[in-house]
Amino acid sequence: MEELANEILQKTIKTKNRFEELTKLVSDPDIIADNKQWKKLVKERSSIEDIVNAHDKLESLYKDLLSCQKEMEKETDHELKQMFYEEIERLKKEIENEVEEIKILLLPKDANDDSNVIIEIRQAAGGEESALFCSVLYRMYHMYADKKHWKVEVMNINETEIGGIKEITFMVKGKGAYSRFKYESGVHRVQRVPETESQGRVHTSTSTVAVLPEIEEVEFEIEDKDLKIDTYRSSGAGGQHVNKTESAIRITHLPTGIVVACQDERSQIKNRERAMSILRSKLYDYYQGQIESEYKAERKSQVGTGDRSERVRTYNYPQGRVTDHRVNVTSYNIESVLNGDLDIFIDALTLKDRADKLAQTN
């Protein structure tokens, strides 16, 4: 255990040195004056802080262990020797736990985990019943965000006449939002008796969920000549104002054919800003997908965080259960899940993701 602890400390000492260097840099007036550079360094410092704290704790435990071992070797009193032995065993156990924790912290981290998240829910198979389920999913995610004290902002919505949602795009703002929501991408299946069904037969419908990190800075340029921007009148709730003002924005990225729309704000400028935010995230996702497809066999996530054709979860109303098919976890309290209690699934998916990555590093 001592050898392994020492090996881990040697691995993390460079991270600690970099952390100390970054601490000095973010206090440098010249760096602070360059807001873009300062934000980049602050983000890097924050991303390694947990590793540095774990390094310091492991280093302290390791020093205590070596000290106790030396004292035990010199001690002649049997009772005191026994006390040192018990302390050494306790320290070894703590060191073992800390080493495992650092192994997890050293795993490749998704650079977007701390980002805000953009979520799209769309009607799929099942007609109006699918649209009604979209509204259920939106409510579920909103309640989950509320439990985490995150802010939800609707960016675009297309509703049906009886309260369903054909499609909705919304942002969840909060540190770590993407790290929790990213596993929700895919096909969500619902089995229930529709309100319009007179004979009480259970129908199966689906809705699709796409989860994207909010991308503030991108390594590719979005050129004006590549954009086709249309304005139109907003539809839906909002009174006379939305019917008279062409405040809604639709942006088409010509090279990729990606189309985004935003109509929730009454200001055309704000709608354009939000539409561009969605476009940045969609283009990031598009280009990342191209990169990953080149060496898919090596990098494809075993949990499945981005395949929108993958059936990820089933919500069975008659049996009162919700099952996540990727980790084979079932909750028999569907009401609780639909009220935002999603951690039972997200925690299991996170643990599986970590276990898969650890297995790849061993």
Read off the pTM. Answer: 0.68
pLDDT at res. 53 = 92
Question: What is the identity of the amino acid at 117?
Answer: V
Most confident stretch, 62-76, 265-279, 311-325: 311-325
Residue linked to tokens 């310091």: 56
> Which range has the worst mean pLDDT, 143-152, 245-254, 294-303, 340-349?
294-303
Residue with tokens 């969609």: 282
Task: Give me the DSSP letters along 162-226.
Answer: TS-EEEEEEEEESTTHHHHHGGG-EEEEEEE--TT-TT---EEEEEEEEEEE--SS-SS---GGG
d(CA 103, CA 105): 5
What is the bridge-based pairing of β-strands 151-159 and 186-192?
unpaired
Pairing of strands 227-232, 186-192: unpaired
Can you tell me which residue has the tokens 């981290």? 109
Residue 338 pLDDT greater than 50, yes or no: yes
Q: Give the torsion through C-alpha atoms of 300, 114, 22, 64, to 10 deg.
A: -80
Residue-wise pLDDT tens digits, 165-205: 999 999 999 988 999 999 999 999 999 988 666 677 888 99
